[in-house]
C-alpha cells in the first residue's frame, strides 16, 4: 500500500477541523493508502510546532513554501484566509501535488479560472471544502431527486444565515475586505450556491440585491476609529435553473439567533423536501398524497453514516462531515472515481457568485452564458 503524506497549511478553526478529520478518517474507514501526517505550516513558528505536536504531525514549518517543497508532502490542505488560497494552490500545483482547498476557491473569478486551468493542465487531484454536501442526509436528498421522487423540479429556496457579525460594535476583520473575498455572499453564500448546483443543476440567469447594513465598524478591539466596510452584510438573489425551475438564495451574517442556518427546500410536481444544517441529521419529506411532512432520521442505511454509528438517530456532527469529505479526498488521490467538488466545480460556484454580484450592482438579470 502506497503512502500519502498530508501537509496542512493554517492552524485556525478550519485547520483544526482538517487535522481532526485526517486523524479520524483512518479509524472510520479502510483506506486505499497509508495516511501519513507529514507537516503543518503556520507563520507563527511556535504555534506551528505546538499544533504539529498536538495533532500528530511529523514536523512543523513557519513558511508555507517550505511545506509545499517538503518531499514528504503529497497532498496540500489549505485552510488560510481566502486571499492566500491562490498563491498557495498555484505553488502546490506547480510542484505536482494534490490540493485540498477551503472555500471560497479564490478572491476573484479570474484567479479561480487560473487555478482550475493550472490543475487541469498539471493533471493533479483537487478538492474544495464544500463539506456540507457530504452529509448523508443531502446525499439521500440528491438520490431522491435523481430517482424522480419529487417529479419535475419547480422551485428551490436556499439560505445560509448566522449572527456572528450582528453586533455593529464588532471590529473590522479580513472578512470585511472585498480583496480578501469577504462579505456574507462569499463567506456563507458560497455554500448555499454549491448546494443549489449539487441538488438542482446549472443556473442560467440571476437577479440580486446586496446591502451593507453596518457601513462602519471599529478598526479593532482597542482602536475605536470608524473603518468603512465595503462588503455585503446580506445578499438576496433570484435564480433561473437550466432545468426550468425557479429559485431564491439568501445569505446573511446579521440574523440574530442563527448559528449555522444552512437550509434548502426543493419542490417538484410530486413532492417537497427540506433540510436545515442546524438539524443536520433530519430530512423532511412530503410526497403527493401525504397530509404533511414526514421526518426521516439519518441512519446506517444511508451512505457514510454507518462508518460512525451502527444505530439510527444517534447523530453525526460537523467534524464527521469533514471526515467524510476527507475520505473522499483520499479516495480521489488514490485514483478512485469518487465524486466531489473539485476546482472545476468550485469555479462554477465562483462564476455564479460573480454573476450575483454583477446583478446586484447593475440591478438587472444577468445570464450565466
* pLDDT score at 180: 85
Separation CA 17–CA 117 (nearest Å): 28
Is the same domain home to 282 and 196? Answer: yes
Is the same domain home to 99 and 218? Answer: no
* pLDDT score at 300: 96
* pLDDT score at 172: 94
Is the same domain home to 257 and 304? Answer: yes
Separation CA 331–CA 138 (nearest Å): 20
Residues 330, 32 contacting (CB under 8 angstroms)? yes
Domain end, chosen from 106, 131, 156, is at: 131
Is the same domain home to 189 and 260? Answer: yes
Domain end, chosen from 83, 108, 131, is at: 131
Residue 233 included in any domain: yes
Angle at 95 between CA 94 and CA 100, to 5 degrees: 85
Is the same domain home to 212 and 294? Answer: yes
Residue 322 included in any domain: no
Is the same domain home to 161 and 116? Answer: no
Is the same domain home to 77 and 165? Answer: no
Is the same domain home to 141 and 282? Answer: yes
How high is the mean pLDDT of the chain?
A: 97
Is the same domain home to 11 and 86? Answer: yes
* pLDDT score at 124: 98
Other residues' Cβ atoms within 10 Å of the Cβ of residue 80: 21
Separation CA 280–CA 195 (nearest Å): 14
Characterize the bridge pairing of strands 153-161 and 261-268: antiparallel
Residue 336 included in any domain: no
Q: Which helix (H) or strand (E) holds 325?
A: helix 318-333
* pLDDT score at 179: 86
**What confidence tier does 109 reach under pLDDT thresholds 50, 70, 90?**
very high
Whether residue 351 has pLDDT greater than 90: yes
CATH number of 142's domain: 3.30.360.10
Characterize the bridge pairing of strands 261-268 and 271-276: antiparallel
Whether residue 28 has pLDDT greater than 80: yes
> What is the tally of structural domains in the chain?
2
Q: Could you read off the pLDDT of 71-88 as tens digits, one per residue?
A: 999 999 999 999 999 999
Q: How many residues does the chain have?
A: 369
Separation CA 332–CA 126 (nearest Å): 8
Residues 194, 150 contacting (CB under 8 angstroms)? no
**What confidence tier does 9 reach under pLDDT thresholds 50, 70, 90?**
very high
Is the same domain home to 284 and 358? Answer: yes
Q: Could you read off the pLDDT of 136-195 as tens digits, one per residue?
A: 999 999 999 999 999 999 999 999 999 999 999 999 998 998 888 889 999 999 999 999
Residue 165 included in any domain: yes
Residue 31 included in any domain: yes
Q: Could you read off the pLDDT of 327-349 as tens digits, one per residue?
A: 999 999 999 999 899 999 999 99
Angle at 353 between CA 119 and CA 113, to 5 degrees: 20
CATH number of 32's domain: 3.40.50.720
* pLDDT score at 119: 98
Beta-bridge partner residues of 36: 5
Residues 361, 235 contacting (CB under 8 angstroms)? no
Separation CA 120–CA 343 (nearest Å): 9
Residue 156 included in any domain: yes
Is the same domain home to 211 and 353? Answer: yes
Residue 321 included in any domain: no
Report percent pLDDT > 90 for the chain: 97
Is the same domain home to 197 and 300? Answer: yes
Q: What is the DSSP string of 151-205?
A: -SEEEEEEEEE--TT--TTSPP-GGG-GGGT-SHIIIIIHHHHHHHHHHH--EEE
Whether residue 1 has pLDDT greater than 80: no
Domain end, chosen from 96, 131, 166, is at: 131
* pLDDT score at 69: 97
pTM, two decimal places: 0.95
Q: Which domain holds residue 43?
A: 3-131
- Strand arrangement of the beta sheet that strand 203-211 belongs to: 294-297, 282-287, 271-276, 261-268, 153-161, 246-252, 234-241, 203-211, 366-367
- Give per-residue burial for 261-299: e unless 16+ CB within 10 Å, then b: bbbbbbbbeebbbbbbbeebbbbbbbbeeeeeeeebebb
Amino acid at each position: 500500500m502506497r503512502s500519502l503524506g498530508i501537509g496542512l497549511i493554517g492552524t485556525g478553526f478550519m485547520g483544526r477541523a482538517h487535522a481532526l478529520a485526517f486523524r479520524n478518517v483512518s479509524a472510520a474507514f479502510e483506506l486505499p493508502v497509508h495516511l501519513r501526517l507529514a507537516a503543518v505550516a503556520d507563520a507563527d513558528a511556535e504555534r506551528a510546532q505546538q499544533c504539529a505536536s498536538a495533532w500528530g504531525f511529523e514536523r512543523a514549518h513557519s513558511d508555507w513554501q517550505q511545506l509545499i517543497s517538503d518531499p514528504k508532502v503529497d497532498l496540500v490542505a489549505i485552510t488560510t484566509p481566502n486571499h492566500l488560497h491562490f498563491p498557495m494552490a498555484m505553488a502546490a500545483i506547480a510542484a505536482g501535488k494534490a490540493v485540498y482547498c477551503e472555500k471560497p476557491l479564490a478572491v476573484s473569478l479570474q484567479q479561480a479560472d487560473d487555478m482550475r486551468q493550472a490543475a487541469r493542465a498539471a493533471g493533479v487531484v483537487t478538492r474544495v471544502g464544500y463539506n456540507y454536501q457530504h452529509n448523508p442526509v443531502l446525499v439521500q436528498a440528491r438520490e431522491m431527486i435523481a430517482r424522480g421522487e419529487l417529479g419535475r423540479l419547480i422551485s428551490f429556496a436556499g439560505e445560509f444565515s448566522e449572527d456572528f457579525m450582528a453586533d455593529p460594535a464588532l471590529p473590522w476583520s479580513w472578512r470585511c475586505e472585498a480583496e480578501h473575498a469577504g462579505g456574507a455572499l462569499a463567506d456563507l453564500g458560497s455554500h448555499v450556491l454549491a448546494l443549489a448546483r449539487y441538488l438542482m443543476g446549472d443556473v442560467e440567469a440571476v437577479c440580486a440585491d446586496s446591502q451593507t447594513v453596518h457601513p462602519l465598524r471599529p478598526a479593532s478591539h482597542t482602536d475605536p476609529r470608524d473603518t468603512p466596510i465595503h462588503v455585503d452584510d446580506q445578499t438576496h438573489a433570484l435564480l433561473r435553473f437550466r432545468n426550468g425551475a425557479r429559485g431564491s438564495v439568501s445569505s446573511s451574517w446579521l440574523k440574530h439567533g442563527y448559528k449555522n442556518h444552512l437550509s434548502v427546500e426543493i419542490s417538484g410536481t410530486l413532492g417537497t423536501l427540506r433540510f436545515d444544517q442546524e438539524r443536520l441529521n433530519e430530512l423532511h419529506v412530503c410526497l403527493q398524497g401525504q397530509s404533511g411532512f414526514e421526518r426521516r432520521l439519518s441512519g446506517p442505511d444511508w451512505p457514510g453514516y454507518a462508518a460512525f454509528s451502527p444505530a439510527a438517530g444517534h447523530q453525526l456532527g460537523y467534524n464527521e462531515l469533514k471526515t467524510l469529505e476527507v475520505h473522499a479526498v483520499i479516495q480521489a488521490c488514490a485514483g478512485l472515481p469518487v465524486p466531489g467538488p473539485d476546482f472545476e466545480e468550485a469555479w462554477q460556484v465562483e462564476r455564479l457568485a460573480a454573476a450575483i454580484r454583477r446583478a446586484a450592482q447593475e440591478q438587472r438579470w444577468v445570464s450565466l452564458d
